[in-house]
């Protein structure tokens, strides 16, 4: 099977859906790009190059460069979705959603509910998340808990190239607003990706590795880190079961609970601050539904309650790293 990068997989998903359905459009800052440059329009394809080539194939009517105003991007896209288009709006960095958050949580997320099901909002909001990119406190956050807590939004965090393509196709065909969170550090990672269009359903976790000693769950870039630690620990006979929920809303509780029933131990790895975050949410689900199975207290491995530091050594320590993940696993095993 052909190997493709996470970036290529997302590009291919959008391209194939744009060919299949003329209602699919793309809009955002520099999604065509290159205006006024010597290369001319279409030469950028968004800040990380995910949309490269789409302007050349689909033209300015379907690949729309917008002014630098996130509220207009999401407002336009939400309205267009209600009229029957299937817009894919890009916010360069998730850190910027503050200025358009009304359009997301108070408008797009509520249309179907408030119009009694008579309005659909088939909108995809693509944005990038994650530290480790040396981009400072305002371009490095991982804000999935912010979206996950809003009823009416679906929240997708692809952790590999195969999932990225299938989840993007599922997101585009979904009739509700979907926030699609791309991990910056995964763009160059590659994997086997079928050429044909395919869907990966929302709310179905991926069990990367089966094991009986401890359940380790993480999302996005943290999945690779958890798997890396699990592979190391396997050499000394510690069997971790590694779970990637793929989507934080809907969330596959069944797979997680079944796993904890088997292992009796849980480590939640999450790249976001600890308070009111996904790790706390997952811990509460397990505490409520599988408390009796637990042989040790749940351990969370998260970022500290601080902005993302710019100093590289501090940034590396800020993110959940293999050393901290391993320590947490050993701690729950010792309890």
Partner 1 sequence: MASITPVKMPKWGLSMVEGKVTGWLKQEGDAVTAGEELFEVETSKITNVGEATQDGVLRRIVAQLDDTLPVGALMAVMAEDSVADSDIDAFIADFNANFVVEDADGGEGGLQTREVDAGGVRINAAFAGEGQDATPIVFIHGFGGDTENWTLAMGAFAGERPVYALDLPGHGKSEKTIADPAPAALAKTVLAALDALGVSRAHLVGHSMGGAVALASALAAPDRAASLTLVCSAGLPGSFVSKEYVDGFIAASRARDMQKVAERLFADPAFATKELAENLARSKRIDGVEDALGALRRMMFETPALAELAGAVGGVKAPLLAVWGDRDQVVSAPDKAALPASATRVRIDGAGHMPQIEKADAFNAALKAHIGANA
* Contact footprint for partner 1 (CB under 8 A): 166, 194, 196-201, 204, 207-212, 231, 234-237, 239, 255
Give me the catalytic one of 4, 112, 139, 265: 139
User: In angstroms, rounded to a whole number, what is the distance separating the alpha carbons of residues 81 and 146?
Assistant: 22
Min dist CB 209 to partner 1, Å, is: 5
CA dist., res. 203 & res. 67, Å (int): 35
- Catalytic annotation present for 144: no
Peptide bond into 250 cis (omega under 30): yes
In Å, the largest CA–CA distance within the chain is: 65
State how beta strands 63-65 and 214-218 pair.
unpaired
Rg, C-alpha atoms of the chain: 20
Q: Write down the least CB distance from residue 174 to partner 1, Å.
A: 14
Q: Which is nearer to partner 1, 71 or 239 (CB)?
A: 239
Q: Quickly count: other Cβ atoms within 10 Å of residue 164's Cβ.
A: 33
Tokens coding 228: 């890396």
Phi, psi of 227 (to 5 degrees): -65, -35
Nearer to partner 1, 230 or 280 (CB): 230
Nearer of residues 149 and 207 to partner 1, judged by Cβ: 207
Angle at 325 between CA 319 and CA 326, to 5 degrees: 145
Closest separation in Å from C-beta 197 to partner 1: 4
> Nearest-CA neighbor of 156 among 228, 214, 204, 92?
204
Q: How far is the CB of 93 from partner 1 (least distance, A)?
A: 31
In whole angstroms, give the CA distance from residue 244 to residue 33: 34
The DSSP symbol for 67 reads: -
Least spacing, CB of residue 8 vs partner 1, in Å: 18
Between 208 and 308, CB nearer to partner 1? 208
Q: Which is nearer to partner 1, 199 or 289 (CB)?
A: 199
List the catalytic residues: 139
């Amino acid at each position: 099977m052909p190997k493709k990068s996470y970036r290529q997989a997302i590009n291919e998903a959008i391209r194939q859906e744009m060919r299949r359905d003329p209602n699919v459009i793309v809009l955002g800052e520099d999604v065509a790009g290159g205006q006024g440059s010597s290369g001319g329009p279409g030469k950028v394809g968004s800040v990380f190059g995910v949309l490269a080539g789409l302007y050349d194939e689909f033209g300015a009517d379907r690949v729309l460069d917008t002014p630098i105003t996130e509220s207009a991007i999401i407002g336009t896209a939400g309205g267009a979705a209600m009229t029957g288009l299937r817009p894919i709006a890009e916010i360069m960095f998730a850190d910027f959603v503050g200025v358009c958050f009304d359009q997301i949580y108070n408008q797009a997320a509520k249309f179907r509910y408030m119009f009694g099901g008579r309005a659909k909002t088939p909108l995809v909001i693509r944005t990038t998340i994650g530290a480790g990119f040396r981009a400072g406190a305002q371009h490095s956050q991982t804000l999935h808990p912010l979206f996950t807590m809003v009823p009416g939004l679906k929240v997708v965090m692809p952790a590999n190239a195969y999932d990225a393509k299938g989840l993007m196709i599922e997101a585009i065909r979904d009739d509700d607003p979907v926030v699609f969170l791309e991990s910056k550090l995964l763009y160059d990672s590659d994997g086997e990706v079928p050429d044909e269009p395919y869907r990966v359903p929302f709310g179905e976790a991926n069990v990367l590795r089966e094991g009986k000693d401890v359940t380790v769950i993480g999302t996005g870039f943290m999945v690779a880190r958890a798997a890396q630690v699990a592979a190391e620990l396997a050499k000394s006979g510690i069997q971790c079961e590694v779970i990637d929920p793929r989507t934080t809303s809907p969330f596959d509780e069944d797979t997680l609970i079944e796993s904890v029933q088997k292992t009796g131990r849980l480590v939640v790895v999450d790249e976001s601050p600890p308070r009111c975050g996904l790790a706390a949410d997952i811990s509460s689900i397990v505490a409520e539904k599988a408390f009796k199975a637990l042989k040790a207290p749940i351990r969370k491995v998260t970022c500290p309650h601080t902005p993302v530091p710019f100093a590289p050594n501090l940034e590396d320590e800020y993110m959940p790293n293999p050393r901290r993940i391993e320590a947490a696993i050993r701690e729950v095993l010792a309890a």
